[in-house]
Amino acid sequence: MRSILAVFLLVLSAVCSSFAGQIVFNGNLIYYEIEGTEGELVIVISDGPGLDSSYMTGIFQERRVLRYDHLGSGKSENSSSIDIDFQYYISELAALIYSLDLNSFHLVGHGFGSAVAVGLALTNPPGLLSLVVVNPRLNYTAIDLAISELRETEPTNGFDKYNFLLGGISAEDRAKGITDDLINRATYNLFWGEDPTSIEGRLRGLDLSSGLPDLRVPILVCVGIKSFPGIAHTSAYQSGAPNSEFVTFMNSGHFPMIEEKAAFELIVDGFFKRVEENSSIEILPKTSREILQGNPGDRVFGQEDLE
């Protein structure tokens, strides 16, 4: 079925710099956009869950970039009664990759999105070239402890973990793409919990960091110096991951792709280029890339297609 769709799209494709589409996964509409026409594909996974992915628009000007809205965020639509848990988001990403017939790609996860990226990488998906995690949130027990410690040093009146988890960004930079209306607080609270002083939702106790030693793809860990829970917490991920690099953005909080856009693109793209020069994975030929340069419209996809 996928091969028929790929041939059909190849015939109908027209070169364009950006297009949008959606897949239907387990009865839900998952919205995605692909920007650019050159370079190896980069899949970006936004923070959240519940955060609209539009703040990641244009972060790599010289590459083809696929970004999508998690279920419960942005333009994706929850049309089913399926119970959403963390594993669902890994399956959702796998469905997107499978449905679009992606043969080689880089993964970039931001915040919560880094946990989804690591979760998928631990399944050893074919075609994965590298993994970039930006202010990663992988060990939620450790993050909960950091929130508890922070609460002891901050005024208790009005304390809200949300302000620290998505904080560290100037008002000027926030106006460029991070506004409160981009976050679906119902989805966010389902996973982080409504208690402003601790993690009480479905992320409680989750720890992906223990799987880092099992990853064999090149890894780049990025952290903003003003991000929460900070460099000391994030550097532990790098030390536990083989074949990894660590970069600190000195003028950034949680959103270095906005706060230091040029530096972020330069550093991460340089990492991609080094990986591609040394990769043993066959890079997707240019003729096949045309499949991703036409508007595919809707794709119907279900969990059974992964089996």
pTM of the entire predicted model: 0.86
> Is the separation of the CB atoms in 214 and 119 below 8 Å?
no
pLDDT by residue for the chain (307 residues), tens only, comes to: 554 443 333 333 334 568 899 999 989 999 999 999 888 999 999 999 999 999 999 999 999 999 999 999 999 988 777 889 999 999 999 999 999 999 999 999 999 999 999 999 999 999 999 999 999 999 999 999 999 998 888 877 778 898 888 876 666 666 665 777 889 999 999 999 999 999 999 999 999 999 999 998 999 999 999 999 989 888 888 777 878 999 999 999 999 999 999 999 999 999 999 999 987 665 544 433 343 433 334 444 444 444 4
- For residue 80, the SS3 value is coil
What's the number of domains the chain is made of?
1
Residue 307 belongs to a domain: no
C-alpha span between 288 and 267 (Å, rounded): 28
Tell me which amino acid residue 84 is: I
- For residue 18, the SS3 value is strand
* Phi, then psi, of 247 in degrees rounded to 5: -130, 135
Whole-number pLDDT of residue 236 = 85
User: From the centroid of its chain, how far is CA 232?
Assistant: 22
Q: Strand 65-68 vs strand 128-134: parallel, antiparallel, or unpaired?
A: unpaired
Tell me which amino acid residue 168 is: G
C-alpha span between 61 and 65 (Å, rounded): 9
Residue 306 belongs to a domain: no
Residue 188 belongs to a domain: yes
Whole-number pLDDT of residue 242 = 79
Residue 123 belongs to a domain: yes
Instruction: Name, in order, each residue with C-beta under 8 angstroms of 3's C-beta and a sequence gap of 6 or more.
Output: 101
Residue 292 belongs to a domain: yes
What CATH code is carried by the domain that includes residue 138? 3.40.50.1820
Residue 33 belongs to a domain: yes
Whole-number pLDDT of residue 178 = 73
Residue 238 belongs to a domain: yes
Task: Tell me the torsion sign for CA atoms 8, 10, 12, 13.
Answer: positive
Largest CA distance in the chain: 62
Residue 304 belongs to a domain: no
Long-range contacts of 150-154 (CB under 8 A, 24+ apart): 150/228, 150/229, 151/197
C-alpha span between 269 and 39 (Å, rounded): 10
Whole-number pLDDT of residue 11 = 33
Query: Which letter, b or e, does each residue of 221-234 get, where b requires 16 or more Cβ atoms within 10 Å of its Cβ?
Result: bbbbebbbbbeebb
Task: Kindly state the tokens that stand for 211.
Answer: 């799987």
Task: Tell me the torsion sign for CA atoms 72, 77, 81, 86.
Answer: negative
Tokens 């996809």 map to which residue?
301
Q: Strand 105-110 vs strand 42-45: parallel, antiparallel, or unpaired?
A: parallel
Range of the domain at 237: 2-9+18-298
Whole-number pLDDT of residue 299 = 44
